[in-house]
Amino acid sequence: MSRFVDRVVIHVSAGSGGNGCASVHREKFKPLGGPDGGNGGDGGEVVLVVDSGVHTLLDFHFRPHAHATNGKQGQGSNRDGAAGETLELRVPDGTVVLTEDGEVLADLIGNGTRFVAARGGRGGLGNASLASKARKAPGFALLGEPGDQRDLVLELRSVADVGLVGFPSAGKSSLISVLSSARPKIADYPFTTLVPNLGVVTAGESTFTVADVPGLIPGASQGKGLGLDFLRHIERCSVLVHVVDCATYESDRDPVSDVDALEGELARYTPALGGSLADRPRVVVLNKIDVPDARDLAEMIRPELEARGLPVFAVSTASHEGLRELSFALAAIVAQDRASRPSMEASRIVLRPPAVDEAGFTVLEDPDEPGAFIVRGERPERWVRQTAFANNEAVGYLADRLARLGVEQALANHGAKPGCPVTIGDVTFDWEPSTPAGTNILLYERGEDPRLDRNDRVGAAERKAAKRARRGLTNGLTNGQTDGPTDDPEPDAEAEPAPEDR
The answer on whether 343 is annotated among ligand-binding residues is no
**H helix runs in 105-234, sequence order:** 172-179, 227-230
Mind listing the pLDDT tens digit for each residue in 117-157?
999 999 999 999 999 887 888 989 999 999 999 999 998 88
The answer on whether 167 is annotated among ligand-binding residues is yes
The answer on whether 276 is annotated among ligand-binding residues is no
The answer on whether 290 is annotated among ligand-binding residues is yes
Mind listing the pLDDT tens digit for each residue in 266-318?
777 766 555 667 778 888 888 888 888 888 888 888 888 888 888 888 888 88
The answer on whether 172 is annotated among ligand-binding residues is yes
d(CA 389, CA 387): 6
The answer on whether 41 is annotated among ligand-binding residues is no
d(CA 206, CA 445): 78
The answer on whether 206 is annotated among ligand-binding residues is no
The answer on whether 169 is annotated among ligand-binding residues is yes
Mind listing the pLDDT tens digit for each residue in 348-360?
667 777 666 566 8
The answer on whether 156 is annotated among ligand-binding residues is no
The answer on whether 220 is annotated among ligand-binding residues is no
The answer on whether 438 is annotated among ligand-binding residues is no
The answer on whether 243 is annotated among ligand-binding residues is no
Beta pairing partners, 96: 107, 155
| Residues 375 and 363: beta-carbon distance below 8 Å | yes
The answer on whether 104 is annotated among ligand-binding residues is no
Spell out a b/e string for 32-50, using b for 16 or more CB atoms within 10 Å of the CB, else e: eeebbbbbbbbbbbbbbeb
The answer on whether 215 is annotated among ligand-binding residues is yes
The answer on whether 173 is annotated among ligand-binding residues is yes
**Ordered structural domains, the chain, with CATH:** 1-156 (2.70.210.12), 162-340 (3.40.50.300), 362-430 (3.30.300.350), 467-501 (no CATH)
Beta strands in 141-214 (DSSP E): 149-156, 162-165, 197-203, 206-212
d(CA 349, CA 372): 42
Mind listing the pLDDT tens digit for each residue in 334-353?
888 888 877 656 556 677 77
- pTM attached to this predicted model: 0.70
- The pLDDT score that the predictor gives to residue 438 is 42
The answer on whether 99 is annotated among ligand-binding residues is no
Q: At 497, is the pLDDT very low, low, confident or very high (cuts 50, 70, 90)?
A: very low
The answer on whether 195 is annotated among ligand-binding residues is yes
Q: Which of 101-110, 170-179, 210-219 has the highest mean pLDDT?
A: 101-110
